[in-house]
Amino acid sequence: MLNMMKADMYRILKGKAIYIIFVFLILTSFVSAIGISPGHIGMSTSSGSAIDINDAEFVEKLSKAKSLKDVREVIKSKGAFELDKAVIGTNANLYYLFIVLVVIVLCTDFSNKSIKNTLSSAISRKKYYGSKTLLIFLLATFFTFFNTYFFYFLNIIINGKEFASSLLEVTKVTILELPLLYGIISLLICFAFLFKKTSTFNTVAIPFILGLQLVVIGITSLFKIKADWFYNYEFQFALEKIAQNPSTQYLIACTVLGIFYILIFHTIGYYSFKKSEIK
């Protein structure tokens, strides 16, 4: 399994995608640090942001700001807050980077059909599944912590210590998010083994989170169903809440949910792969 992972790392480092992930993370960190606001893809409660749209005076000041410098001054005047934790709260954005990771580690093998070379003479399906999954998890963990620490130090340099929490605190929050992040990565791995082709995988995976949110919100508002469970435990909302010092009970529930996702998606993914014909 180690040989397999070593081979994949050699191949991945020869490509461009991994470096694009670095550049993307660095750029988004700069945007969030300079704008003093974490960026969101998808729906958000925006509770971690400094921009409170209900504060009319604040919004008016923002609208009158003529430059980025003015915007920063207006936000800073509102008072300091833990921007680094707010950014960790938007780690659902990493979902799209995880898609890239799954594609470069796994889907490429299916699309190029090079998986035949590996399975026909090198290793068993079990080891193949294990090594690919482990490598994706390791790379995802690395990028998640890179995102956390890079932003932590960049934020201190650009905005000062008053907008930062402690290094220990950001590490703790990131670790608490890991079970849910691993759960969602497991979903992507499951998709990859089910759909195999990169194009099909992308078609399903890219809009999945947004689509799910839209469908659930649509149904709950149409039938006037109370959807607290959804807002509490949906992937994106849950990650935001974890960064806002929730109760221990909530953290345990999120960890259990993450473990449940990991188990269920790997069971489906592995058994579908085990039975499938490699074309």
Question: Which residues contact other proteins by CB under 8 A?
Answer: 3-4, 6-7, 10-11, 14-15, 108, 112-114, 116-125, 275, 277-278
Our CB check for other proteins shows the closer of 114 and 221 to be 114
Our CB check for other proteins shows the closer of 14 and 226 to be 14
Residues in the chain: 279
3-state helix, strand, coil in the chain (%, to 5): 80, 0, 20
Would you give the distance in Å from CA 120 to the centre of its chain? 34
**Minimum distance from residue 273 beta carbon to other proteins (Å):** 12
**Minimum distance from residue 137 beta carbon to other proteins (Å):** 19
Our CB check for other proteins shows the closer of 47 and 114 to be 114
**Minimum distance from residue 138 beta carbon to other proteins (Å):** 16
Name residue, tokens 């969030």: 32
Nearest to 132 by CA among 279, 226, 7: 7
Residues 6+ apart with CB under 8 A from 51: 37, 58, 62, 75
CA dist 267 and 80 (Å) reads 45
**Minimum distance from residue 112 beta carbon to other proteins (Å):** 5
Our CB check for other proteins shows the closer of 95 and 273 to be 273
**Minimum distance from residue 11 beta carbon to other proteins (Å):** 5
**Minimum distance from residue 85 beta carbon to other proteins (Å):** 39
CA dist 61 and 198 (Å) reads 47
DSSP 224: T
CA dist 52 and 9 (Å) reads 44
Our CB check for other proteins shows the closer of 54 and 121 to be 121
CA dist 61 and 75 (Å) reads 9
Our CB check for other proteins shows the closer of 117 and 245 to be 117
